[in-house]
Chains A and B, each alone.
With several copies, the nearest count.
Chain A
Amino acid sequence: MDTALSTLLSPIILFFMLGMGAALLRSQMSVPEAFSKGLSIYLMMAIGLKGGVEMAKNPLTTEVILVLAAGVVLSFLIPSIAFALLQLTTKLNRTDAAATAAHYGSISIVTFVAATEAVRLAGFETGGHLVATAALMETPAIITALILAHRGQSARGGEVAGSERGELLREVLLNASVVVLVGALAIGWIAGEEGTASIQPFFTGLFQGVLCLFLLDMGLNAGRGLRQGWRQMNLPTFAFGLYMPLISAVITAAVCGVLGLPVGDAALLITLAASASYIAVPAAMRLALPEAKPSVYLTLSLGVTFPFNVTVGIPIYIAMAGIAASLTG
């Protein structure tokens, strides 16, 4: 697997491993939170704009709509599977299991971006509508998780004091990544290739370099998350963080096969399904299911699944996409 190796040896992944290694060796270095949060806004603007410009070039085909719909359905469904597996294999209580399941239905934008680069490196094209799909897949999983957590329970014992109507909705529908992704996508669509020409040096030229810096920080975060959360993990929980993305990937590969998606788009959809959220969903869970323990779901999604996906997972998902395409093509 030549592609896999060249993905692993690309500077982006090497910087990720550098950060992860430094964190595991207990280096005190860190990228200031304000700086890396700023970079993450840049990255989301860049992929939003790129997706929008690409979508503006082509009319909205049925395939595009099917991909968007498939993304939403997967985000709704995957948490149920994750929840069942967690109930079956781990000792997590109902709330913890539901909260964790939400993370796996939702997505990780950084994993998506890393996959985009890997797919491009592997020589495949990707459609701009996958960015829209990513944005759409962020939230449905949260709804499923809330249903799972409350099902079978008597009516909840009242709201937490100080809760406000709509605060969860705002958090979930208007969080930074949804606003910036969808906004930049729309702006790219409206302004088109010509309108965005003057901002290309910033958003396209620098993209991969910024990604290196950002993944260095993500490596530090993932490594520290793993080191700090380690004690709360047991083998079945840890294993879940490794096999769950593969299960989601297989299901999604099948869907891609049925839809007859081209390899690039399929690889990205599979990656989205296999990726787990570690920013938007944890925040939503603290509001909606505060009883669930953040140390469990954060360690899993950030400390286990994210590094797995970025290093080993993505090459596998590209291969799966190739198989799915060849079976149906």
Chain B
Amino acid sequence: MELHQKRRIELIIERMAYKRACRVLEQVGVTGYTVLPSMAGFGGKNRWSRDTDISSASDMVVIISITDEEKADEALEQIANILGSHIGVVSVSDVQVLRPELF
């Protein structure tokens, strides 16, 4: 079974801005992404927790997208723009997949 090298983007971003990030990913041309809810977190000096946060204004979500190197780089550039004004953290890593034509 052959495995193929791809990139995994993991973007932790405030809930209110997540659709902006999704649109960026779609424009860049990734074939898919999945959004996970989160329940608590810490950054800088602030802790937040979902059951506390009635306005969802400090809620974060995690967006995962498996894509190829090129699109990952392009996506990162655009996401850097979003993270200029919105709260969030982005990282990429290497992953292997079975069917490279899907990403």
Contacts and interface: CB of A to CB of B under 8 A. Distances in A.
User: Are A and B close enough to touch in the complex, i.e. CB under 8 Å?
Assistant: yes
A283 interface: yes
Interface stretch (B2-10, B15-23, B65-73, B95-103): B15-23
A152 interface: no
A32 interface: yes
B50 A160 contact: no
Interface stretch (A70-78, A86-94, A196-204, A223-231): A223-231
B34 to A, nearest CB: 17
B52 A278 contact: no
B46 A162 contact: no
A163 B17 CA distance: 9
Contact of B19 (A162, A291, A298): A162
Given A286-B16, A290-B17, A294-B58, A160 B51 contact: no
A281 B58 CA distance: 13
B55 A278 contact: yes
B87 to A, nearest CB: 8
Chain B: interface residue count, which band? 20 to 34
Interface string A120-144: 0000000000000000000000000
A300 B83 CA distance: 25
A279 B54 contact: yes
B19 A160 contact: no
A236 to B, nearest CB: 20
A31 B53 CA distance: 11
A161 B54 contact: no
Interface string B40-62: 00000111111111111110000
Question: Which of B19, B20, B47 has the largest count of A CB atoms less than 10 A from its CB?
Answer: B20
A33 B50 contact: yes
A278 B46 CA distance: 18
Contacts of B82: 160-162
A212 B47 CA distance: 28
Interface string A200-237: 00000000000000000010110011001001000000
A162 B78 contact: yes
A290 B83 CA distance: 10
B46 A160 contact: no
Contacts of B54: 36, 218, 221, 225, 278-279, 302
Given A33-B50, A161-B20, A228-B47, A291 B85 contact: yes
A102 B96 CA distance: 39
A164 interface: yes
Interface residues of A, number: 31
A221 B52 CA distance: 5
A283 B51 CA distance: 17
Contacts of A221: 52-54
A167 interface: yes
Given A231-B45, A290-B17, A160 B52 contact: no
Contacts of A287: 16-17
A283 B81 contact: no
Interface string A142-185: 00000000000000000011111001000000000000000000
9 contacts: A161-B79, A162-B27, A228-B46, A282-B55, A283-B55, A283-B57, A290-B17, A290-B87, A302-B55
Interface of B: 14, 16-17, 19-24, 27, 45-58, 78-79, 81-82, 84-87
Interface of A: 30-33, 36, 160-164, 167, 218, 220-221, 224-225, 228, 231, 278-279, 282-283, 285-287, 290-291, 294-295, 298, 302
